[in-house]
């Protein structure tokens, strides 16, 4: 399986780069996920030459927008950090990014914005470095380590990262239109689970694969593919995909009824998605159903990660 490249705030990998010389090692990233990915560690504050230990930073409001300031000496680091972020963003070739939560440089949600004095004005901001990177790569899968504690967000992020890596590997090689057709065929159910409309659009792009310039075709397909996967795969759409795959298997009435019951159990929130998905994959392996068997939907990332073993909460099942 393709090994994704994931940019990560260095402190999350355990590097002693925080303001106090410490780190924020994350157990999921350095444990469960580590064997399957290639990390690209980035510490913007160290790269900006601030060293460690260092004075802490914060975002401060100004008429021209948030400024990145040192807390005690009030040095303005906005221009230095902004230039670094633009340079890093332009050269970034990765399949995802995990940022450190709430950092004034790396945070992607909930970073406090201060006045020169007093309590925060609000806590809805993005760190300066992260903001520039995300603006430059709006479809790149990004999360912070705090949100990755949520089982649904974790699975969704990892799924997108691996799909991004497979597409990157295809399009950066010496591909032919038939390779894109084969890639799309393998990803059909995964796209359908995320966004039926963009699934249809991707199919139409691939249908014209032989008659268009390669670069134009690749750019349009990549955009549609990534937009589709950026949409949440709801339980309802997963049920639709499971029924779709079930319809392509040759099963006796008893086995079919069993599988339908399991899909209903998933729909009702009684079993995780891994249960019906594993059963369908098992039946597809046992018969000549290569189209179903080879769908990336059934192996979107290494099985050993076991990220589909959670039951969505009621609110998420309604989504």
The contact set with ligand SF4 (CB under 6 A) reads 9-11, 17-18, 43-46, 100, 103, 105-106
For residue 295, give both structure tokens: 């769908």
For residue 40, give both structure tokens: 């690209």
Shortest Cβ distance from residue 183 to ligand SF4 (Å)?
Answer: 34
Closer CB to ligand SF4, residue 105 or residue 295?
Answer: 105
User: SS in 3 state form for 143-164?
Assistant: EECCHHHCHHHHHHHHHHHHHH
Shortest Cβ distance from residue 310 to ligand SF4 (Å)?
Answer: 28
Nearest to 159 by CA among 189, 126, 200: 189
Would you tell me how many other CB atoms lie within 10 Å of the CB of residue 274?
Answer: 15
Would you tell me the crossing angle of helices 177-194 and 151-171 to the nearest 10 degrees? 170
Buried b (16+ CB within 10 A) or exposed e, 26-55: bebbeeebeebbebbbbbbbbbbebebebe
Shortest Cβ distance from residue 35 to ligand SF4 (Å)?
Answer: 22
User: What backbone phi and psi angles, to 5 degrees, belong to 171?
Assistant: -75, -20
Shortest Cβ distance from residue 226 to ligand SF4 (Å)?
Answer: 25
69 strand-pairing partners: 58, 76
Closer CB to ligand SF4, residue 111 or residue 222?
Answer: 111
Shortest Cβ distance from residue 100 to ligand SF4 (Å)?
Answer: 3
Closer CB to ligand SF4, residue 106 or residue 229?
Answer: 106
DSSP state of 269: T
Shortest Cβ distance from residue 106 to ligand SF4 (Å)?
Answer: 4
Shortest Cβ distance from residue 113 to ligand SF4 (Å)?
Answer: 17
Residue with tokens 């799924």: 159
Closer CB to ligand SF4, residue 17 or residue 198?
Answer: 17
Closer CB to ligand SF4, residue 85 or residue 305?
Answer: 85
- Look at the chain and count its residues: 319
Nearest to 16 by CA among 25, 6, 26, 7: 25
Shortest Cβ distance from residue 55 to ligand SF4 (Å)?
Answer: 12
Closer CB to ligand SF4, residue 92 or residue 152?
Answer: 92
Closer CB to ligand SF4, residue 40 or residue 152?
Answer: 40
Residue 282's SS3 state is helix
| Sign of the alpha-carbon dihedral angle for 304, 264, 189, 149 | negative
For residue 274, give both structure tokens: 């891994």
Closer CB to ligand SF4, residue 114 or residue 297?
Answer: 114
């Amino acid at each position: 399986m393709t090994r994704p490249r994931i940019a990560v705030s260095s402190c999350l990998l355990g590097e002693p780069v925080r303001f106090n010389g410490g780190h924020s090692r994350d157990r999921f990233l350095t444990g469960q996920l580590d064997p399957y990915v290639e990390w690209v560690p980035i510490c913007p504050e160290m790269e900006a030459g601030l060293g460690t230990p260092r004075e802490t930073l914060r975002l401060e409001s100004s008429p021209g927008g948030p400024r990145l300031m040192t807390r005690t000496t009030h040095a303005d680091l906005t221009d230095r950090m902004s230039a670094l972020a633009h340079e890093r963003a332009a050269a970034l070739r990765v399949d995802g990014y995990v940022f450190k939560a709430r950092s004034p440089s790396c945070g992607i949600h909930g970073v406090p914005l201060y006045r020169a004095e007093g309590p925060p004005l609000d806590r809805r901001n993005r760190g300066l470095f992260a903001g520039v990177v995300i603006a430059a790569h709006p479809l790149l899968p990004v999360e912070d380590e705090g949100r990755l504690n949520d089982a649904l967000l974790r699975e969704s992020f990892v799924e997108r990262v691996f799909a991004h890596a497979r597409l990157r590997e295809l399009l950066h090689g010496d591909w032919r239109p038939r390779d894109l057709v084969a890639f799309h065929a393998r990803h059909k159910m995964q796209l359908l689970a995320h966004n039926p409309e963009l699934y249809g659009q991707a199919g139409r792009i691939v249908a014209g694969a032989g008659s268009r310039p390669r670069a134009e075709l690749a750019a349009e397909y990549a955009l549609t593919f990534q937009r589709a996967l950026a949409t949440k795969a709801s339980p309802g759409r997963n049920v639709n995909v499971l029924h779709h795959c079930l319809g392509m298997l040759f099963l006796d009435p008893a086995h079919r009824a069993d599988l339908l019951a399991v899909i209903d159990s998933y729909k009702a929130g009684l079993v995780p998605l891994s249960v019906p998905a594993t059963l369908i994959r098992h039946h597809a392996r046992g018969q000549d159903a290569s189209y179903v068997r080879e769908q990336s939907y059934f192996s979107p990332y290494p099985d050993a990660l076991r990220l589909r073993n959670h039951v969505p909460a009621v609110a998420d099942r309604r989504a």
